[in-house]
């Protein structure tokens, strides 16, 4: 059993060796969370719980697809568009993915300028990110409308297995809801950054300590998570 080494009288005991020392270190908050704010910690906990939810959804989708005896719809046919008389598969999905991944880049730049306390560039880049996110949601709404017009329902679809509709609407709808809420919060925080709320410590929701743009970084964590989840949805639904 590991022993605690005592130092000079009046001083705290030295760290315990081994696994017990690791547990003591984490539980006493000496290093692991010493420099992490509650805002960041809570966002990471939220993202961890959201990871479990999306994982359950995608695992359920995999189970339904591999267990059904009815042929699964071909994504190249279901998600194709007719443009100038040409049948182009997955063109809308490719544009949606490009838009959302690009928004991750603008969000990263916004966080970078937030570190530098450049409120104008930070606010502009957050608004650009919000515009790209809104564009993604608009294209997703167009995709839903197209599939509904073609007869896709949560309980049936004209191309094969009935589970396709319920899985598609549930998972993409849940992700789209995340993007929508992200756009709303991006606009709200960008407005506060533009007004200089974080420089004068104006009271209100999401206002951090004076001179700190931490909320921009927290928003960046959420937005990058949403983008990462879309990569998995893209691979499962549109490439498999």
Would you call 213 helix, strand, or coil by DSSP?
A: coil
d(CA 64, CA 88): 28
**Of 23-27, 60-64, 235-239, which gets the smallest average pLDDT?**
23-27
The pLDDT of residue 184 is 96
What would the 3-class secondary structure string for 26-55 be? HHCCCCCCCCCCHHHHHHHHHHHHHHHHHH
Taking only the tens place, the pLDDT of each residue in 142-168 is: 999 999 998 888 888 888 888 888 899
Q: How confident is the model at residue 27 (pLDDT cuts 50, 70, 90)?
A: low
Residues 6+ apart with CB under 8 A from 6: 13, 14
Taking only the tens place, the pLDDT of each residue in 41-88 is: 889 999 999 999 999 999 999 998 888 888 888 888 888 888 877 778
Residues 6+ apart with CB under 8 A from 146: none
CB contact at 8 A, 103 and 133: yes
Say which CATH class 38-239 falls into. mainly alpha
What mean pLDDT do residues 183-206 have? 80
Provide the token pair at 28: 């006493």
CB contact at 8 A, 80 and 69: no
Beta-sheet pairing, 80-83 with 86-89: antiparallel
What mean pLDDT do residues 223-230 have? 95
The pLDDT of residue 211 is 52
The pLDDT of residue 210 is 53
**Of 1-5, 20-24, 230-234, which gets the smallest average pLDDT?**
1-5
The pLDDT of residue 41 is 84
- What mean pLDDT, rounded, does the chain reach? 83
DSSP code at position 156:
B
Handedness of CA 191, 194, 198, 202 (dihedral sign): negative
Give the distance from CA 76 to its chain's centroid: 26
Angle at the Cα of 194 from the Cα atoms of 38 and 230, rounded to 5 degrees:
60
The pLDDT of residue 136 is 96
The pLDDT of residue 5 is 46
Q: In percent, how much of the chain has pLDDT > 70? A: 80
d(CA 189, CA 207): 9
> What residues does each domain of the chain span?
1-35, 38-239
CB contact at 8 A, 173 and 181: no
d(CA 21, CA 151): 61
CB contact at 8 A, 238 and 143: no
pLDDT at residue 99 greater than cutoff 80? yes
pLDDT at residue 206 greater than cutoff 60? no
The pTM is what? 0.80
Partners of 83 in the β-ladder:
86
Q: How confident is the model at residue 7 (pLDDT cuts 50, 70, 90)?
A: very low
More confident residue, 124 or 89: 124
Partners of 26 in the β-ladder:
none
The pLDDT of residue 240 is 81
Would you call 160 helix, strand, or coil by DSSP?
A: coil
């Amino acid at each position: 059993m590991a022993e605690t080494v005592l130092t000079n009288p009046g001083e705290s005991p030295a760290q315990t060796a081994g696994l017990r020392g690791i547990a003591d270190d984490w539980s006493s908050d000496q290093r692991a969370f010493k420099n992490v704010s509650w805002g960041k910690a809570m966002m990471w906990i939220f993202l961890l719980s959201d990871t479990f939810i999306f994982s359950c959804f995608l695992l359920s989708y995999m189970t339904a697809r591999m267990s059904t005896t009815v042929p699964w719809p071909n994504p190249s046919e279901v998600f194709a568009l007719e443009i100038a008389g040409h049948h182009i598969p997955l063109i809308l999905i490719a544009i949606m993915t490009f838009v959302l991944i690009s928004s991750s880049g603008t969000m990263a730049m916004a966080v970078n300028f937030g570190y530098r306390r450049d409120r104008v560039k930070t606010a502009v880049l957050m608004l650009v990110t919000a515009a790209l996110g809104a564009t993604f949601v608009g294209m997703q709404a167009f995709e839903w409308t197209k599939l509904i017009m073609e007869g896709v329902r949560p309980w049936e679809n004209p191309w094969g297995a009935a589970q396709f509709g319920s899985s598609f609407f549930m998972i993409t709808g849940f992700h789209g809801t995340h993007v929508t809420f992200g756009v709303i919060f991006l606009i709200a925080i960008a407005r506060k950054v533009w007004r200089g709320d974080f420089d004068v410590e104006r009271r209100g929701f999401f206002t951090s300590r004076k001179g700190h743009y931490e909320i921009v970084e927290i928003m960046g964590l959420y937005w990058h998570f949403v983008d990462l989840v879309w990569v998995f949805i893209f691979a499962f639904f549109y490439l498999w």
